[in-house]
């Protein structure tokens, strides 16, 4: 058993039972070890959850960085969509990620910000746009993952709209991008 194996098994447990049911006791049982042995790798459950959040973000954290030839608007949309896809890959992925602090990917964040600034977006506007897009995406994914949805939309009263999460996300993302373009003139 090693740290990576513990994290992988914890993520598998998350996918099976959801965030509320993930516990070090349950994880130790899955790994056929005593619960205190997990403390060799993670001092607290909070440390375990932080490691799980970082590992769950790997698909987004390893996506190609922008190149100088990329159109910043297309990249901004693609980057935000990649973040959303990654959050939705895991059961309760958005809840797991919410409130986590990026640790290993600070250089990637700096490079993304540098790309936006080099593309003509003022630094403060780039920071706020990335933060707004990130928080919007997490909130959108939280809502989507929390939506158990009706068994049949025919059961809903006629005046209750059925939410298409993908369309709602795309509309909100377009509003953020259009606001940034309007505000900066870039």
Alpha helices in 34-105 (DSSP H): 45-56, 58-61, 72-88, 93-97
Burial class (CB in 10 A: 0-12, 13-18, 19+), 80: buried
CA dist 83 and 78 (Å) reads: 9
Please give the backbone phi and psi of residue 8, each rounded to the nearest 5 degrees, phi first.
Answer: -60, -45
| Interval 104-125: pLDDT, tens | 678 899 999 999 999 999 999 9
Residue 99 has pLDDT above 70, yes or no: yes
How many beta carbons lie within 10 A of that of residue 29, not counting itself? 13
| Interval 156-179: pLDDT, tens | 677 777 779 999 999 999 999 999
Whether the Cβ atoms of residue 132 and residue 80 lie closer than 8 Å to each other: no
Using alpha carbons, select from 4, 2, 85 the residue that is nearest to residue 51: 4
Residues in the chain, total: 186
Whether the Cβ atoms of residue 145 and residue 93 lie closer than 8 Å to each other: yes
1 three-state secondary structure: coil
CA dist 95 and 103 (Å) reads: 18
Binned at pLDDT 50, 70 and 90, residue 21 comes out as very high
Residue 152 has pLDDT above 60, yes or no: no
Residue 150 has pLDDT above 70, yes or no: no
CA dist 139 and 98 (Å) reads: 9
Residue 154 has pLDDT above 70, yes or no: no
Model's pTM, two decimal places?
0.90
């Amino acid at each position: 058993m090693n740290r990576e194996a513990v994290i992988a098994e914890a993520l598998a447990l998350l996918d099976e039972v959801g965030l509320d049911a993930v516990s070090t006791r349950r994880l130790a049982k899955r790994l056929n070890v005593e619960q205190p042995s997990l403390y060799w790798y993670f001092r607290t459950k909070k440390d375990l959850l932080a490691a799980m959040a970082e590992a769950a973000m790997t698909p987004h954290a390893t996506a190609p960085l922008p190149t100088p030839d990329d159109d910043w608007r297309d990249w901004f949309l693609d980057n935000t969509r990649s973040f959303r896809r990654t959050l939705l890959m895991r059961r309760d992925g958005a809840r797991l990620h919410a409130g986590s602090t990026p640790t290993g990917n600070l250089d990637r964040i700096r490079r993304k910000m540098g790309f936006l600034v080099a593309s003509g977006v003022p630094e403060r506007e780039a920071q706020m746009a990335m933060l707004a897009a990130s928080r919007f995406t997490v909130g959108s994914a939280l809502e989507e993952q929390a939506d158990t949805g009706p068994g049949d939309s025919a059961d809903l009263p006629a005046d209750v709209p059925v939410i298409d999460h993908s369309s709602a996300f795309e509309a909100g993302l377009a509003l953020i991008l259009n606001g940034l373009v309007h505000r900066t003139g870039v």
